[in-house]
Amino acid sequence: MQEILTFNPRRGRLSASQAEALHRLLPRYAPPAGSFDPATAFSGRPVVVEIGFGVGDVTIEMAQAEPAIGIVAIDVHTPGVARLLSAIEDHGLDNVMVVHDDAVGFLRERVPEAALAGIRIFFPDPWPKSKHHKRRLVRPALAALMASRLKAGASIHCATDWTPYAEAMLEVLDAEPSLRNAFDGYAPRLERPMTKFERMGLEKGHEVADLVFVKREGRS
């Protein structure tokens, strides 16, 4: 069966310097080919996956603020990937890897079960039309996939400025048996840098909701 993509498969135009960065730096900062090994990826540091980093500013801020974790930042949007690669080099960071691919395939095919210390999904495409809800990242089948890749006690942290999506996320994550809500309903706004899409949402008067769900003990 064909995979329902959570993004529009357009690669975006690259400037010459972005193309150069992509070509030169992706081999350096991508995880080694094959199965992802969380134990060796960042010399044993716990691994957090960020899905859909966009322009990557927040990835850089998180990596600087949390040197004790390794971040695997995943996005399909090529100009953003090139931009993040250059920023990692400029800042000399050793705790970010970049995957230029569909996060769903990466998690399913390359990440073992119970491997991750966290998954962060900030302002995923809301796909507001009902006929497109099947494209949402936070939907039942993908929630189960993401939960299966978390270690017990690790969390999935989502944020959105699209209230109907926040409500749907709450329902989907509540219904996933291997997860429990870390809060009663929505989470308070946790310590996290402001993202580009969050700023745009706030400018439009949208309300932002955070959700944090924790992987239960003894569940795969």
Active-site hit among 125, 174, 184, 210: 125
Residue 107 in the binding site for ligand SAM (CB under 6 A) = no
Size of the site for ligand SAM (CB under 6 A): 23
Strand partners, 99: 74
Residue 212 in the binding site for ligand SAM (CB under 6 A) = no
x/- contact string, 54-83, with ligand SAM (CB under 6 A)? x-------------------xxxx--x---
Residue 195 in the binding site for ligand SAM (CB under 6 A) = yes
Residue 100 in the binding site for ligand SAM (CB under 6 A) = no
Residue 192 in the binding site for ligand SAM (CB under 6 A) = no
Lookup: tokens for 94: 């050793």
Residue 149 in the binding site for ligand SAM (CB under 6 A) = no
Distances in whole angstroms, Cα of residue 164 to Cα of each of 49, 156, 169, 205, 217: 25, 19, 9, 15, 30
Catalytic: 125?
A: yes
- How far apart (Å, rounded) are the C-alpha atoms in residues 209 and 207? 7
Residues with Cβ < 8 Å from 67, sequence gap 6 or more? 95
The phi, psi pair for 148, rounded to 5°, reads: -65, -25
Length of the chain: 220
Residue ranges that bind ligand SAM, judged by CB under 6 A? 6-7, 51-54, 74-77, 80, 102-104, 122-125, 137, 195-198
| Active site residues per annotation | 125
